[in-house]
């Protein structure tokens, strides 16, 4: 009889939490692998406009990002409040775009160069004059595939004072 009585110790055994770190580490590794770190530190305001008719850009390595917008507050003393272009990690002039495109092209494999897309990440408040200049430069550099990066959403969000 005593054989059976032994197990009845009364209290519930504590659940082992020894595998908890393993589970958490698994999650951690998933997030570390799955997330893409921002390549560029933004120095400009970048509130993207919304659009409904968007297409997805799937090949991440074949995109060159061109940012434009008003400099962030901490840079306004140096660069003023006028919208500016940012390429990689620094402010750039319109004339730098051609060199930027050439550099991006050179860093890609030859057979993929034709698929390079310029993604324009432009702040809502920017003037079209600047965009027009960028587009003209891209045409000169023969980078004709562009994409206006937008958020997915109704265009009513683009109205003034609705940010």
Residue 47 CB contacts under 8 Å (≥ 6 apart), including other chains: 69, 123, 124, 125, 163
Q: What is the DSSP letter of 157?
A: G
Q: Which residues from 117-136 bind another protein, rule CB under 8 A?
A: 117, 119, 122-129, 131-132, 135-136
| Residue 72 is a binding residue for another protein (CB under 8 A) | no
**Maximum alpha-carbon separation in the chain:** 94
Residue 46 CB contacts under 8 Å (≥ 6 apart), including other chains: 67, 69, 121, 122, 123
CB-nearer residue toward another protein: 87 or 122: 122
| Rounded least distance, CB 157 to another protein, Å | 9
Query: CA nearest 125: which of 90, 84, 156?
Result: 84
Q: Which residues from 24-43 bind another protein, rule CB under 8 A?
A: 24-25, 27-28, 31-32, 35-38
CB-nearer residue toward another protein: 76 or 136: 136
What SS3 class is residue 163? coil
| Residue 106 is a binding residue for another protein (CB under 8 A) | no
Which of 3, 44, 57, 108: binder of another protein (CB under 8 A)?
Answer: 57
Q: Are β-strands 84-87 and 90-92 bridged in parallel, bridged antiparallel, or unpaired?
A: antiparallel
CB-nearer residue toward another protein: 72 or 136: 136
Contact stretch for another protein (CB under 8 A) within 5-13, 85-93, 94-102, 114-122: 114-122
């Amino acid at each position: 009889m005593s054989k059976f009585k032994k197990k009845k110790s009364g209290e519930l055994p504590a659940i082992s939490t020894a595998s908890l770190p393993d589970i958490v580490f698994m999650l951690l590794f998933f997030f570390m692998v799955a997330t893409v770190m921002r390549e560029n530190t933004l120095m400009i305001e970048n509130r993207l406009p919304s659009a409904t008719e968007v297409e997805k850009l799937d090949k991440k390595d074949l995109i060159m990002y061109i940012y434009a917008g008003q400099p962030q507050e901490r840079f306004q003393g140096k660069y003023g409040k006028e919208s500016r272009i940012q390429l990689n990690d620094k402010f750039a002039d319109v004339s730098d775009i051609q060199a930027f495109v050439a550099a991006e092209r050179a860093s890609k494999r030859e057979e993929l160069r034709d698929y390079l897309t310029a993604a324009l990440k432009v702040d809502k408040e920017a003037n079209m004059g600047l965009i027009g200049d960028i587009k003209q430069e891209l045409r000169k550099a023969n980078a004709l595939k562009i994409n206006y990066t937008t958020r997915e959403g109704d265009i009513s969000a683009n109205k003034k004072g609705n940010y």
